[in-house]
Structure formats: C-alpha cells, structure tokens
Amino acid sequence: MEHQQDILTEIVGNTSIKRSKLLPWWIKIFMWIFLVISFFVPVLLVLAILGFEIQLAIYGLDTNRVFTFTGLLLVLVFATKGVVSFGFIKEKDWAVQLAMIDAIAGIIICVYTSYIQPLLSEDVSFSLLKLELVLLIPYLVKLNRIKEQWASAKFIG
C-alpha cells in the first residue's frame, strides 16, 4: 500500500506545472510593462500633491489632474494592473481572478468611452474600435481558459 502511494506521489509530482508556463508571451510582456508603470504610481501621487500636472491615460480616459474622479480612477487602474502583474510573477492563487476583474473593468471602461460617452456628449469623437478592446478581449478569454489550471497548479519555484 505504501508503495502505491509513493508511485501516486511521483506521478502527481511529475504532472505539476509551473503557473508562469500557463501565461503566453504577450501577457508576460504587458505584465512587466504594467509592473514598471505601477512603481511610478506613488511618485505620481507625490508630484500631484506638490502641484505638478501629471498626464494619465488608458482605455480612452485621460486627465492631467490626479485628484479628480477620472484621475483617481486611472491611478486605481494602474495600481490594480501592478498588483495583478505582481501576482502573476509570484504565481499567487488570486492572480487570475483579480486579472479577470481587471480585464472586465477595462472592457466596461472602453465600451463606455468608445460607444456610450460619444452619445452623451457632442464634443467627444466616436471611436469604431479601440486597440485596448482588441487586446482585452483575448486577454479575458485566455484568463478564463487557464483559471482552473492556475488554481490546481502548485507554485514551483
């Protein structure tokens, strides 16, 4: 009986996969980009407190004033992307779930800025297709495909 458990342990141990292997190269590239950008979030907040105007933009939202609703939303988006990137690098259990929330929030913001906001405002131009949407949708699909494997995989490292 003990011999069977040893064999089972060897089989299960050999099928373990490193979580980072589940991520395609293009997600890894963006992961590192957003990790670097997120390191600047505290610096941007300090500069904003000191009165500097900081240009922030993503998903069709942009501002040069951090302490507005749009500015704080953008800071939150960049900080979340940094936390997600950290979670992917350290292969945290929660990384894929938070990344999916981040992707869904990004899609909602893109849809709003591309299709809803132009209908509500006359001075905002209509955008047929945003590059962010082209990237966010496959990102969300990939995350959905790997979430169970990520949850069952062990941290090997």
- 52 conformational bin, left if phi > 0, alpha if psi -120 to 50, beta if neither: beta
Domains of the chain, by residue range, sit at: 19-148
Q: Determine the pLDDT at residue 14.
A: 47
- Asked whether the beta carbons of 106 and 74 are under 8 A apart, the reply is no
Element (H, E) at 148: helix 131-152
The gap from C-alpha 89 to its chain's centroid, in whole angstroms, comes to 12
pLDDT in tens, 101-134: 999 999 999 999 888 877 787 766 666 677 888 9
DSSP 65-84: -SSSHHHHHHHHHHHHHHHH
Q: Determine the pLDDT at residue 4.
A: 58
Report the alpha-carbon distance of residue 1 to residue 100 in Å, rounded: 43
Does the pLDDT of residue 19 top 50, yes or no? yes
Higher pLDDT, 50 or 125: 50
Does the pLDDT of residue 9 top 70, yes or no? no
pTM of the model as a whole: 0.81
Q: Determine the pLDDT at residue 17.
A: 77
Report percent pLDDT > 70 for the chain.
83
- 85 conformational bin, left if phi > 0, alpha if psi -120 to 50, beta if neither: alpha
Q: Quick count: other Cβ atoms within 10 Å of Cβ 106? A: 22
Does the pLDDT of residue 37 top 70, yes or no? yes
